[in-house]
């Protein structure tokens, strides 16, 4: 939601989150604990966290950028937090006015706080495949950031194609590379469909053995600090492809589509979702 001009009310957020959990989403990112001036759409995440009904087996996660965010997470009973750092120096400077190394140094106190308070930390590495300021980001650079996260004790990491610059061959190579180097990490992938390669990149990631993928209902998303960034791959498109391929996701496709449709109504705009436009394969069969 952070790229949308309109603001959802707390109760609207709560309903969407509860429906996402009911639809079988394994991890629901309910918002971020960042400074409300930086992302005003997320200023009410504390209250959202307190109000949502928690479903067993569902992980509720927030994005944080520092220890203060973690404190807010703990106070709101959210026991899983995601720290984000850009793999690209320029992108990190543009986004947070600090280099990746400086950002990661700042995470040290987060790690201590998380251990002391039972909060599970995950890490997201943005612009992991390409950066609008630097072009292709080399795997070695990504490895450096992964190393820092591992040294902090973070065992769940996401490689994010923040600006839709990844291609399937690169995804396959990078994923094999990081899995080989860091076999004890649980990997997530995060793709945007900016250049039409979103689901192809998922396919490449699956072939490299990655089982967890971020997506957003109706294909919402983007990055306010990355020029040209467009929405994430749509949850309903991803679930649809997986189910068509016979891959179990745990998600209910019809519920996912219904949520996507309602998100689209709330935003009042047509996003990058294909299934919301075309319907499921099984829908179009007319006899």
- Per rule CB under 8 A, is residue 75 in the interface with a copy of itself? no
The secondary element (H helix, E strand) that includes residue 85 is: strand 80-86
Cβ closest to a copy of itself, residue 203 vs residue 267: 203
Near a copy of itself in 266-285, by CB under 8 A: 274-275, 278-282, 284-285
- Per-residue x/- mask for a copy of itself, residues 221 to 240, rule CB under 8 A? ------xx-x--xx--x--x
- Per rule CB under 8 A, is residue 197 in the interface with a copy of itself? yes
Q: CA-to-CA distance for 152 and 111, rounded, in angstroms?
A: 6
- Per rule CB under 8 A, is residue 256 in the interface with a copy of itself? no
SS3 130: strand
Size of the site for a copy of itself (CB under 8 A): 49
- Per rule CB under 8 A, is residue 198 in the interface with a copy of itself? yes
Cβ closest to a copy of itself, residue 8 vs residue 166: 166
| Shortest Å, Cβ 245 to a copy of itself | 4
Cβ closest to a copy of itself, residue 40 vs residue 228: 228
Q: CA-to-CA distance for 92 and 19, rounded, in angstroms?
A: 34
Contact indicator for 203, 209 with CB cutoff of 8 Å: no
Copy the structure tokens of residue 265. 């109504």
Contact indicator for 223, 124 with CB cutoff of 8 Å: no
Contact indicator for 55, 67 with CB cutoff of 8 Å: no
Q: CA-to-CA distance for 267 and 5, rounded, in angstroms?
A: 9
- Per-residue x/- mask for a copy of itself, residues 17 to 56, rule CB under 8 A? ----------------------------------------
| Shortest Å, Cβ 195 to a copy of itself | 5
| Shortest Å, Cβ 114 to a copy of itself | 35
Question: Where does residue 7 rank: exposed (0-12), middle (13-18), buried (19+ CB within 10 A)?
Answer: middle
- Per rule CB under 8 A, is residue 211 in the interface with a copy of itself? no
Strand partners, 179: none
Using only C-alpha atoms, the chain has a radius of gyration, in whole angstroms, of 18
- Per rule CB under 8 A, is residue 186 in the interface with a copy of itself? no
Q: CA-to-CA distance for 159 and 174, rounded, in angstroms?
A: 9
Near a copy of itself in 159-178, by CB under 8 A: 163-165, 167-170
| Helix%, strand%, coil% for the chain, nearest 5 | 45, 15, 40
Summarize as ranges the residues that interact with a copy of itself (CB under 8 A).
Answer: 90, 130-136, 163-165, 167-170, 193-200, 202-204, 227-228, 230, 233-234, 237, 240-241, 244-247, 274-275, 278-282, 284-287
């Amino acid at each position: 939601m952070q790229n949308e001009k309109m603001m959802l009310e707390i109760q609207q957020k709560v309903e969407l989150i509860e429906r996402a959990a009911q639809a079988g989403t394994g991890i629901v990112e309910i918002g971020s604990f960042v400074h409300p001036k930086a992302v005003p759409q997320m200023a009410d995440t504390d209250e959202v966290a307190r109000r949502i009904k928690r479903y067993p087996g569902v992980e509720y996660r927030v994005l944080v950028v520092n220890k203060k965010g973690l404190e807010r997470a703990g106070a709101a009973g959210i026991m899983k937090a995601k720290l984000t750092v850009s793999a690209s120096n320029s992108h990190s400077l543009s986004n947070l006015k600090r280099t990746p190394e400086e950002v990661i140094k700042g995470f040290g106190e987060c790690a201590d706080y998380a251990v002391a308070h039972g909060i599970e930390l995950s890490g997201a590495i943005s612009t992991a495949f390409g950066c609008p300021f630097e072009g292709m980001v080399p795997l070695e650079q990504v490895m450096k950031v992964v190393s820092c996260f591992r040294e902090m004790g973070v065992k769940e990491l996401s490689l994010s194609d923040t600006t839709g610059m990844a291609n399937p061959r690169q995804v396959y190579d990078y994923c094999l590379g990081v899995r080989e180097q860091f076999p004890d990490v649980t990997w997530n992938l995060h793709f945007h469909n900016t250049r039409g390669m979103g689901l192809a990149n998922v396919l490449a990631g699956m072939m490299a053995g990655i089982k967890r993928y971020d997506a957003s209902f109706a294909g919402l998303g983007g990055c306010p600090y990355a020029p040209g960034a467009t929405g994430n791959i749509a949850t309903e498109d991803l679930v649809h492809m997986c189910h068509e391929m016979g891959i179990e996701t745990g998600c209910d496709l019809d519920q996912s589509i219904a949520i996507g449709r309602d998100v689209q109504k709330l935003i009042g705009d047509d996003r990058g979702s294909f299934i919301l436009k075309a319907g499921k394969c099984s829908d179009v069969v007319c006899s």
